Amino acid sequence: MTALEKATGDVVFKFEPFVLHVLCRELQDAQLLHSVAIDSGFKNSGITVGRGGKIMMAVRSTHCLEVPLSHMGKLMVSEEYIEFLIHVANRKMEEN
C-alpha cells in the first residue's frame, strides 16, 4: 500500500488470462484440440494458419481483470477494495 501511495502516475491492477500456444502438425490435430478446449470452457481459443503453413492452436481463458487504482498520483480506491481485488484475482488464477 505504501508503494501505491507514493506513485505519481496511473496505477492499474491487471490480471492476464491463461494462454497456451500449441504448434500442430495437421489441421485435424488443431481442430481436435480446439474442440477439447472449447468444451473445457476455454471460449477464447482459436486456430491460426501462418503464411509458411504453420498451424498454431491457442488455448485461451476468459479470466481477465483490469482495474485502475490511482490516477495522476491520487489513490482512487480503498485498501479494502484492493484486498478484494487480490482475492478475485487469486480465484481467477485457481480457475485458470
Three-class SS of residue 78? Answer: coil
> How many Cβ atoms sit within 10 Å of the Cβ of residue 47?
15
Give yes or no: residues 70 and 58 share one domain.
no
**What is the span of the domain harbouring residue 43?**
18-62
**How many structural domains is the chain composed of?**
2
Q: Check whether residue 56 and residue 72 sit in a common domain.
A: no
Pair (68, 80) in one structural domain: yes
pLDDT at 74: 87
SS (H, E, C) 38-73: HHCCCCCCEEEECCCCCEEEEEECCCCEEEEEEECC
Split at pLDDT 50, 70, 90, the class of 77 is very high
Main-chain dihedrals φ then ψ at residue 42, nearest 5 degrees:
-90, 75
pLDDT digits (tens, 9 = 90+) for 5-62: 777 889 999 999 889 999 999 999 999 999 999 999 898 999 999 989 999 999 998 8
